[in-house]
């Protein structure tokens, strides 16, 4: 089933829009523009758009109970207060790898922050997936990663779903919510070359995965138990990067995109590349975002 009733959220184009997070308390959508190191905030009611510059590339953010953020920046994990405009370092597990940067990240059901890295020059296998615990200790969960991307946890908290984009796969691990241990890796969804590359993803109240397809012009909803593609949302930009549910009822799907790396002709053909889109009233709800 195709769904094409997307809307532009606001008149702004990111270079590499990513990592949308719904802030339920403030009823606003947050997302990042990785390359210029910006965190964006937009209130759908007041229409206020606010941009915070972190001073380095920013891959992902998560909301803490205080309302402040944990962020995966180019040089490690940081605590960020948008209200006070402060950036405080926590830990940099790749201080010895200056050619890497952090990419996608998300909180797990226990409130730990998971985020992965990649080479700025796309060197194969140069990245890893890390877990930042509440005590700010950092552990490596997956190594030999090329482009660490989408993360989601099953509704029963027994599985971690994970994407290393060039593999064109979504894999599942058995997940222990008490320790954060992952084991027993297996492929649950395989994409074809014509689909593009799986990027960011989110999970809905039915346990189905919504996966953004880089160079695929779409978001697809898939059943991770069968690999079946259930529906798709076709979009006016090729480089679709991630998605999350938001809105008062958590049934609006916010979708980020990018324009980085597109040729002049492609940019002319995709005037909305880099925009934030929303599909309202999808009829399906997301699940609340865990907080660190």
Please give the Cα distance from 188 to 224 (Å, whole number): 6
Binding residues for a divalent metal cation: 18, 149, 199
Please give the Cα distance from 186 to 195 (Å, whole number): 20
Cβ–Cβ under 8 Å, residues 115 and 127: no
Please give the Cα distance from 75 to 95 (Å, whole number): 7
| Residue 199: active-site member | yes
Binding residues: 18, 101, 103, 149, 199
CA–centroid distance for 100 within its chain: 18
Q: Which two tokens stand for residue 120?
A: 């700025």
Q: Report which DSSP code applies to 16.
A: B
Binding residues for substrate: 101, 103
> For 164-191, b where at least 16 C-beta lie within 10 A, e where not — what string?
bbbbbbbbbbebeeeebebeeeeebbeb
Residue 74 burial by Cβ neighbours in a 10 Å radius (0-12, 13-18, 19+): buried
- Among 199, 204, 251, 252, the active-site one is 199
Please give the Cα distance from 47 to 59 (Å, whole number): 25
Active site residues per annotation: 199
């Amino acid at each position: 089933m195709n769904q094409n009733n997307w809307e532009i959220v606001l008149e702004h184009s990111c270079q590499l829009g990513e990592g949308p997070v719904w802030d339920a308390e403030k009823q606003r959508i947050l997302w990042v523009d990785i390359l210029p190191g910006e965190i964006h905030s937009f209130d759908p009611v007041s229409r206020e758009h606010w941009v915070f510059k972190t001073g380095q590339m920013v891959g992902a953010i998560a909301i803490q109970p205080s309302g402040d953020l944990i962020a995966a920046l180019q040089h490690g994990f940081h605590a960020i207060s948008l209200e006070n405009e402060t950036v405080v370092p926590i830990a940099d597990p790749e201080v010895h790898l200056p050619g890497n940067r952090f990419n996608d990240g998300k909180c797990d059901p226990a409130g730990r922050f998971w985020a992965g890295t990649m080479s700025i020059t796309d060197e194969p296998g140069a990245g890893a997936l890390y877990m930042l615990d509440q005590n700010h200790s950092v552990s490596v969960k997956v190594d030999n990663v090329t482009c660490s991307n989408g993360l989601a946890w099953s509704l029963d908290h027994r599985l971690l779903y994970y994407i290393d984009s060039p593999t064109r796969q979504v894999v599942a691990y058995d997940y222990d919510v008490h320790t954060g241990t992952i084991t027993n890796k297996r492929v649950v969804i395989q994409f074809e070359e014509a689909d593009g590359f799986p990027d960011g993803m989110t999970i809905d109240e039915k346990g189905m995965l919504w996966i953004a397809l880089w160079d695929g012009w779409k978001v697809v909803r898939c059943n991770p138990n069968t690999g079946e593609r259930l529906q798709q949302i076709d979009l006016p930009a090729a480089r679709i990067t991630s998605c999350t549910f938001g809105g008062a009822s958590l049934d609006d799907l916010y979708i980020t995109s990018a324009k980085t790396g597109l040729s002049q002709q492609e940019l002319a053909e995709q005037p909305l590349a880099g925009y934030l889109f929303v599909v309202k009233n999808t009829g399906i709800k997301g699940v609340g975002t865990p907080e660190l």
